[in-house]
Copies of this chain bind each other. A is one copy, B any other.
């Protein structure tokens, strides 16, 4: 079955995570995505985890894409890029701002080549503004975007999240921008530039904190796993692991928790009566809950909380996630065939559509695996022209 974006043509010139992840989202939804790498393969092909010199990181980000090579710096690269830009509905790039312009493919030139083209630009700090020249990485987005200042505990330094959350949100914002621009393009025939950045993707997650600080002039603390606004909501240590419990958002959850702990006396305690007083006395509540929880195993607690309708969840590691029958049933953990590693599990299509479901149609491509079919079938080069380009090192 065709995906929702069947027929949409995407040219993915990007490297690292944010750009390729945008391309992946569109590919999962059915778009036809061509990934362009330099001859020999992009740097990401050597990023760990590696299996027989092949990067699984690159593999996981590039399933559902076809891969061609092109030496961007070759004087004849323009002959190929011009055709690719005419072919595409959407081009994704995450070079440093100014690089596409230097290559001769700034927005004005792209507009001449293909007025319907949507140019998605992902960068560390955006295409404009006094910091636009600075190099960006996920960690720098988390640092400068305020997230680290709120992550960790009173005893720790500011900490980063253990996965590159800013790379992913930036790729997601890029995809929302690309599809919004596509909607407009389909109605008007006019392409445009989508400009997203790591820094701004981080700042976009400060929805409550920015006005909150402005009003109170109080810095958001590093509260570990403790909720900022209600209690009890925290991670507690069971006999054999950790469990997160959120029994805070209203009085009835608090009441359910007290009953489960066989401590209905707490419901009468005046200093635990309201949301505000429970927050104020959160440390005492946490001590009581922790003491009770330490008598049980995670699985026992998980079943008890589930029956009692109290939001909770075990803190799981990767093997526990790989074994989850729910994630398997949902198709969120799937196996793909990797050219050298054989069958490997990866995170599947996250967005589930009922009528045009996304699917993993292609496994991860080898370097240049589709150069011949794309140069000839999509771009119209003859066998001889392609051979000449290859001999000259263009692709």
**Interface presence of A78 (CB below 8 A):** no
Q: Which residues of B contact A313 (CB under 8 A)?
A: 134, 139-141, 143-144
Q: Which of A153, A172, A246 has the most CB of B within 10 A?
A: A172
Chain A, 217-252, CB within 8 A of any chain B CB: 217, 219-220, 222-225, 227-229, 233, 235, 237, 242-244, 246, 249-250
Q: In the complex, what residue of chain B is closest to A134 when comparing beta carbons?
A: B306
Closest chain-B Cβ to A246's Cβ sits at a distance in Å of 5
Are B168 and A204 within 8 A (Cβ)?
A: yes
Range, interface on chain A = 35 or more
Cα separation A353 to B347 with both chains bound (whole Å)? 30
Are A156 and B156 within 8 A (Cβ)?
A: yes
Q: How many copies does the complex hold?
A: 2
Closest chain-B Cβ to A199's Cβ sits at a distance in Å of 8
Known contacts: A5-B180, A176-B175. The answer to whether A149 contacts B205 by CB under 8 A is no
Contact partner of A176 (CB less than 8 A), chosen from B25, B196, B223, is B25
Looking at A69-77, A185-193, A257-265, A280-288, the stretch in contact with chain B turns out to be A185-193
Q: Which residues of B contact A102 (CB under 8 A)?
A: none
**Interface presence of A14 (CB below 8 A):** no
**Interface presence of A294 (CB below 8 A):** no
Could you mark each residue 135-149 of chain A with 1 if its beta carbon is under 8 Å from any beta carbon of chain B, else 0?
Answer: 111011111111111
Closest chain-B Cβ to A108's Cβ sits at a distance in Å of 11
Are B176 and A354 within 8 A (Cβ)?
A: no
Are A211 and B56 within 8 A (Cβ)?
A: yes
Closest chain-B Cβ to A92's Cβ sits at a distance in Å of 14
Known contacts: A173-B172, A208-B60, A315-B158. The answer to whether A192 contacts B356 by CB under 8 A is yes
Q: Which residues of B contact A347 (CB under 8 A)?
A: 203-204, 206-207, 210
26 inter-chain pairs at a CB distance below 8 angstroms, sorted by A residue, are A25-B176, A30-B180, A48-B228, A125-B326, A130-B325, A139-B246, A140-B313, A144-B313, A146-B318, A146-B320, A148-B162, A148-B315, A149-B318, A151-B151, A156-B224, A158-B235, A162-B220, A163-B205, A168-B204, A169-B169, A172-B175, A199-B332, A204-B347, A206-B318, A207-B346, A211-B345
